[in-house]
Chains A and B, each alone.
Chain A
Protein backbone atom coordinates (compact mmCIF):
# COMPACT_ATOMS: atom_id res chain seq x y z
CA UNK A 1 0.00 0.00 0.00
CA UNK A 2 1.11 3.51 -0.75
CA UNK A 3 1.87 5.43 2.34
CA UNK A 4 2.10 9.19 2.56
CA UNK A 5 3.05 10.52 5.95
CA UNK A 6 3.08 14.05 7.29
CA UNK A 7 5.28 15.15 10.15
CA UNK A 8 2.54 16.48 12.42
CA UNK A 9 -1.23 16.07 12.74
CA UNK A 10 -1.62 19.29 14.72
CA UNK A 11 0.65 22.29 14.90
CA UNK A 12 0.34 25.62 16.70
CA UNK A 13 2.67 28.45 15.75
CA UNK A 14 2.92 32.16 16.39
CA UNK A 15 2.69 34.94 13.82
CA UNK A 16 6.04 35.56 12.18
CA UNK A 17 7.50 32.13 12.91
CA UNK A 18 9.07 30.05 10.15
CA UNK A 19 7.12 26.82 9.78
CA UNK A 20 8.17 23.59 8.12
CA UNK A 21 5.66 20.94 7.10
CA UNK A 22 7.21 17.67 6.00
CA UNK A 23 5.76 15.01 3.75
CA UNK A 24 7.25 11.62 2.90
CA UNK A 25 5.97 8.99 0.46
CA UNK A 26 7.26 5.46 0.12
CA UNK A 27 6.15 4.47 -3.39
CA UNK A 28 8.78 6.14 -5.55
CA UNK A 29 6.22 8.57 -6.99
CA UNK A 30 7.55 11.31 -9.24
CA UNK A 31 4.90 13.89 -8.38
CA UNK A 32 4.21 15.43 -5.02
CA UNK A 33 1.68 18.11 -4.11
CA UNK A 34 0.81 20.47 -1.30
CA UNK A 35 -2.79 21.66 -0.83
CA UNK A 36 -4.56 23.69 1.73
CA UNK A 37 -8.18 22.99 2.62
CA UNK A 38 -10.52 25.59 4.01
CA UNK A 39 -14.27 25.33 4.68
CA UNK A 40 -16.31 26.20 1.62
CA UNK A 41 -13.23 26.48 -0.59
CA UNK A 42 -12.31 22.85 -1.10
CA UNK A 43 -8.70 21.93 -1.83
CA UNK A 44 -6.46 24.55 -3.38
CA UNK A 45 -3.07 23.67 -4.80
CA UNK A 46 -0.15 25.58 -3.31
CA UNK A 47 2.85 23.99 -5.04
CA UNK A 48 3.72 20.77 -6.72
CA UNK A 49 6.91 19.02 -7.75
CA UNK A 50 7.38 16.58 -10.59
CA UNK A 51 10.99 15.67 -9.86
CA UNK A 52 13.77 16.23 -7.38
CA UNK A 53 14.67 19.92 -7.12
CA UNK A 54 11.81 20.79 -9.51
CA UNK A 55 8.78 22.76 -8.43
CA UNK A 56 5.87 24.60 -9.95
CA UNK A 57 3.50 27.11 -8.44
CA UNK A 58 -0.07 26.10 -7.93
CA UNK A 59 -3.06 28.37 -7.53
CA UNK A 60 -2.10 30.02 -4.23
CA UNK A 61 1.71 30.04 -3.79
CA UNK A 62 1.99 33.44 -2.11
CA UNK A 63 3.52 33.21 1.35
CA UNK A 64 4.81 29.68 0.80
CA UNK A 65 7.89 27.99 -0.57
CA UNK A 66 8.82 24.35 -1.06
CA UNK A 67 11.84 22.11 -1.10
CA UNK A 68 12.37 18.73 -2.70
CA UNK A 69 15.91 17.52 -2.13
CA UNK A 70 15.03 13.82 -2.26
CA UNK A 71 12.42 12.04 -4.33
CA UNK A 72 10.47 10.78 -1.34
CA UNK A 73 10.33 14.03 0.62
CA UNK A 74 8.51 17.28 -0.12
CA UNK A 75 8.58 20.14 2.36
CA UNK A 76 6.28 23.12 2.59
CA UNK A 77 7.74 26.22 4.20
CA UNK A 78 5.89 29.19 5.58
CA UNK A 79 8.60 31.83 5.72
CA UNK A 80 6.72 34.07 8.14
CA UNK A 81 3.49 32.55 9.33
CA UNK A 82 0.38 34.69 9.39
CA UNK A 83 -3.05 34.10 10.88
CA UNK A 84 -4.60 33.71 7.41
CA UNK A 85 -2.44 30.64 6.93
CA UNK A 86 -4.37 28.81 9.61
CA UNK A 87 -5.70 25.84 7.69
CA UNK A 88 -5.58 22.11 7.04
CA UNK A 89 -2.57 21.23 4.90
CA UNK A 90 -2.65 18.09 2.81
CA UNK A 91 0.22 16.43 0.99
CA UNK A 92 -0.30 14.03 -1.91
CA UNK A 93 1.75 12.07 -4.39
CA UNK A 94 1.24 10.12 -7.60
CA UNK A 95 2.90 8.62 -10.61
CA UNK A 96 3.58 10.86 -13.56
CA UNK A 97 0.41 11.44 -15.62
CA UNK A 98 -0.28 9.37 -18.68
CA UNK A 99 0.04 6.05 -16.95
CA UNK A 100 -2.83 3.97 -15.64
CA UNK A 101 -2.69 5.45 -12.16
CA UNK A 102 -3.16 9.17 -12.14
CA UNK A 103 -4.92 9.00 -8.80
CA UNK A 104 -3.35 10.93 -5.99
CA UNK A 105 -2.51 9.41 -2.62
CA UNK A 106 -2.97 11.68 0.34
CA UNK A 107 -1.38 11.99 3.73
CA UNK A 108 -3.53 12.40 6.87
CA UNK A 109 -3.16 16.18 6.90
CA UNK A 110 -1.67 18.74 9.26
CA UNK A 111 -4.02 21.14 10.98
CA UNK A 112 -1.99 24.32 11.46
CA UNK A 113 -3.11 27.10 13.74
CA UNK A 114 -1.25 30.41 13.64
CA UNK A 115 -1.86 32.62 16.67
Chain B
Protein backbone atom coordinates (compact mmCIF):
# COMPACT_ATOMS: atom_id res chain seq x y z
CA UNK B 1 0.00 0.00 0.00
CA UNK B 2 1.09 3.57 -0.54
CA UNK B 3 2.79 5.32 2.35
CA UNK B 4 1.53 8.68 1.14
CA UNK B 5 -2.03 9.24 0.09
CA UNK B 6 -2.93 12.58 -1.40
CA UNK B 7 -6.33 14.17 -1.11
CA UNK B 8 -8.10 15.20 -3.24
CA UNK B 9 -7.19 13.12 -6.27
CA UNK B 10 -8.13 16.03 -8.53
CA UNK B 11 -8.71 19.72 -7.93
CA UNK B 12 -9.84 22.50 -10.28
CA UNK B 13 -9.76 26.13 -9.21
CA UNK B 14 -9.83 29.57 -10.80
CA UNK B 15 -6.61 31.39 -11.42
CA UNK B 16 -5.74 33.59 -8.47
CA UNK B 17 -7.37 31.32 -5.90
CA UNK B 18 -5.45 29.28 -3.36
CA UNK B 19 -5.01 25.53 -3.77
CA UNK B 20 -4.65 23.15 -0.85
CA UNK B 21 -3.62 19.53 -1.13
CA UNK B 22 -3.28 17.05 1.68
CA UNK B 23 -1.10 14.03 2.27
CA UNK B 24 -1.49 11.32 4.86
CA UNK B 25 1.06 8.65 5.71
CA UNK B 26 1.25 5.61 7.91
CA UNK B 27 4.66 5.21 9.55
CA UNK B 28 7.18 7.43 11.30
CA UNK B 29 9.16 9.61 8.95
CA UNK B 30 12.40 11.56 8.80
CA UNK B 31 11.13 14.04 6.26
CA UNK B 32 8.29 14.69 3.86
CA UNK B 33 8.74 16.20 0.43
CA UNK B 34 6.48 17.60 -2.24
CA UNK B 35 7.11 17.25 -5.95
CA UNK B 36 5.43 18.64 -9.06
CA UNK B 37 5.05 16.83 -12.35
CA UNK B 38 3.99 18.56 -15.52
CA UNK B 39 2.17 16.34 -17.97
CA UNK B 40 4.41 13.62 -19.39
CA UNK B 41 7.54 14.94 -17.70
CA UNK B 42 9.77 14.05 -14.78
CA UNK B 43 9.16 15.21 -11.23
CA UNK B 44 10.57 18.43 -9.85
CA UNK B 45 11.30 18.85 -6.16
CA UNK B 46 9.37 21.69 -4.53
CA UNK B 47 10.00 21.63 -0.82
CA UNK B 48 11.21 19.40 2.00
CA UNK B 49 10.04 19.53 5.60
CA UNK B 50 11.74 17.57 8.35
CA UNK B 51 9.93 15.71 11.09
CA UNK B 52 10.93 18.29 13.71
CA UNK B 53 9.50 21.16 11.66
CA UNK B 54 5.84 22.22 11.62
CA UNK B 55 5.71 24.72 8.80
CA UNK B 56 7.85 25.80 5.90
CA UNK B 57 7.53 28.43 3.20
CA UNK B 58 9.04 28.78 -0.24
CA UNK B 59 7.73 31.59 -2.42
CA UNK B 60 4.00 30.94 -2.94
CA UNK B 61 4.24 27.52 -1.32
CA UNK B 62 3.43 26.77 2.29
CA UNK B 63 3.83 23.29 3.72
CA UNK B 64 2.66 22.12 7.11
CA UNK B 65 3.44 18.88 8.87
CA UNK B 66 1.53 17.34 11.75
CA UNK B 67 3.39 14.24 12.88
CA UNK B 68 0.76 13.43 15.51
CA UNK B 69 -1.83 13.09 12.75
CA UNK B 70 0.66 11.78 10.21
CA UNK B 71 -0.43 14.36 7.70
CA UNK B 72 0.89 17.24 5.65
CA UNK B 73 -0.65 19.92 3.53
CA UNK B 74 0.65 21.91 0.59
CA UNK B 75 -0.84 25.36 0.00
CA UNK B 76 -0.23 27.21 -3.24
CA UNK B 77 -1.29 30.81 -2.96
CA UNK B 78 -2.41 33.08 -5.80
CA UNK B 79 -2.46 30.21 -8.28
CA UNK B 80 -1.35 30.65 -11.89
CA UNK B 81 -2.05 28.70 -15.04
CA UNK B 82 1.52 27.43 -14.92
CA UNK B 83 0.74 25.68 -11.62
CA UNK B 84 -1.39 23.17 -13.53
CA UNK B 85 0.35 19.87 -12.82
CA UNK B 86 0.24 16.77 -10.64
CA UNK B 87 1.58 17.11 -7.12
CA UNK B 88 3.06 14.22 -5.15
CA UNK B 89 4.08 13.87 -1.56
CA UNK B 90 6.93 11.54 -0.67
CA UNK B 91 8.13 10.36 2.70
CA UNK B 92 11.65 9.53 3.76
CA UNK B 93 12.31 7.25 6.67
CA UNK B 94 15.10 6.99 9.20
CA UNK B 95 18.13 5.06 8.02
CA UNK B 96 16.57 4.45 4.65
CA UNK B 97 17.70 5.88 1.35
CA UNK B 98 14.34 5.42 -0.31
CA UNK B 99 11.37 7.72 -0.70
CA UNK B 100 7.83 6.43 -0.81
CA UNK B 101 5.54 8.37 -3.11
CA UNK B 102 1.81 8.86 -2.97
CA UNK B 103 -0.56 8.64 -5.89
CA UNK B 104 -0.74 12.38 -6.47
CA UNK B 105 -3.22 15.22 -6.80
CA UNK B 106 -4.02 16.50 -10.26
CA UNK B 107 -4.36 20.31 -10.05
CA UNK B 108 -5.97 22.28 -12.86
CA UNK B 109 -5.92 26.08 -12.82
CA UNK B 110 -8.68 27.60 -14.91
CA UNK B 111 -7.64 30.90 -16.53
Contacts and interface: CB of A to CB of B under 8 A. Distances in A.
A108 B97 CA distance: 22
Contact of A90 (B43, B92, B100): B43
A97 B97 contact: yes
A88 B104 CA distance: 15
B109 interface: no
B69 interface: no
Interface in A39-92: 40-45, 48, 50, 58, 88, 90, 92
B76 to A, nearest CB: 18
Query: Majority SS of interface residues in chain A?
Result: strand
Interface residues of A, number: 27
Contacts of A25: none
Interface residues of B, number: 25
A96 interface: yes
Contacts of A97: 30, 92, 95-97
A42 B43 contact: no
Contacts of B48: 102-103
Interface of B: 2, 30-31, 33, 35, 40-45, 48, 88, 90, 92, 95-104
Nearest 9 Cβ contacts at the A-B interface: A106-B42, A42-B103, A43-B101, A103-B45, A106-B43, A108-B42, A42-B101, A97-B97, A109-B42
Interface of A: 4, 31, 33, 35, 40-45, 48, 50, 58, 88, 90, 92, 96-97, 102-109, 111
